[in-house]
Amino acid sequence: MSSSILRAHSPSPLGDGDRPRILVLLATHNGQEFLDEQLNSVLSQADVDVTVLVSDDASTDQTIPMLAQRAETDSRVALLEPGQFGSAAKNFARLVRDADITGFDAVALSDQDDIWLPGKLRRHFDILSAPRGLDGLGSYSAVSSNVTAFAPDGTRQLIVKNQTQQLADYAFESGGPGSTFLIRPEAFRLVQQQLRNPQSSANTARSHDWLIYALIRANGGRWFIDGEPTVEYRQHEDNVLGANEGWRQHLRRLAVIREGTYRADVANIVVAALEVADAKHSARLRWIATQIETNSLRSRLRLARRARHLRRRRRDQLVLAATIALGVW
């Protein structure tokens, strides 16, 4: 079991007038339709110096030529050798493993089809740089935020992720969309270390943003979820997950729960988090792992009674408690 490496942070050496260097990891797959708009919103971020590192997953449209042209005309865009990875999570895992973050002040993740608000990175870097955090309890290892989902018909909806964090919500959900993440270098290296280890359960996680949130929280890192939406989260038929709001999305999530996929994902995240957990989180995660593995009526009821510690939103806590107690998951 590793000891925590995220507790102590040195204040950023940057002064108020300096521009932090941010490395943005962009995963693409057949993204030609919205890629230019997303790249423009990333490269035009205010008061930061941005470098974009791109990994493409077997695109068959014009994504690769578009990226090549960008890289040729803009030195801030760098391309990894295209590959075939099979999912967004595996593509992001490749990016995390291969990224050289030397000299960068923070690392961000980017999807190929969103739009970043102009002050996103600077706002979140300033939060990361607060020596005692915004609550005076200590600096943060990472920041994420709410997003505004928008659809082709003009519909817009605030997607709230900044409910109060719970003792072990990281074992059951992400800290929000990965496209909102900004991560300190030392916290990023923790994740990178696990994904570079072929024996780590981190390599089998099906959700990269959930994995990152879990590893950092389990290791004792503090995470801030910003209530200010910083990303315009595009909704379309090719979304991997979408906004997860609305009755169709809820039915789809229930189907995933009933077929056991969610339970398997939780079990995997718990094992991955245990590999880096500090003493406080280790005991809690081992207890959760035992209840999941046993899966008896008694263990399900034990876990269900603690659902308030396992999700942030009250509605999700109630649904989780019911599905666990009934053995639906």
Q: What is the pTM of this model?
A: 0.91
Using the predicted structure, report yes or no on whether residue 144 has a pLDDT greater than 50.
yes
Number of Cβ within 10 Å of residue 107's Cβ equals 25
User: Ranked by mean pLDDT, which of 1-5, 21-25, 235-239 comes out on top?
Assistant: 21-25
Domain ranges of the chain: 21-241, 251-325
Using the predicted structure, report yes or no on whether residue 250 has a pLDDT greater than 80.
no
pLDDT at 49: 98
The residue-averaged pLDDT of 29-40 equals: 97
190, 101 Cβ separation under 8 angstroms: no
Q: Is 45 exposed, middle or buried (0-12, 13-18, 19+ CB in 10 A)?
A: buried
The CATH superfamily holding the domain 21-241 is Spore Coat Polysaccharide Biosynthesis Protein SpsA; Chain A (3.90.550.10)
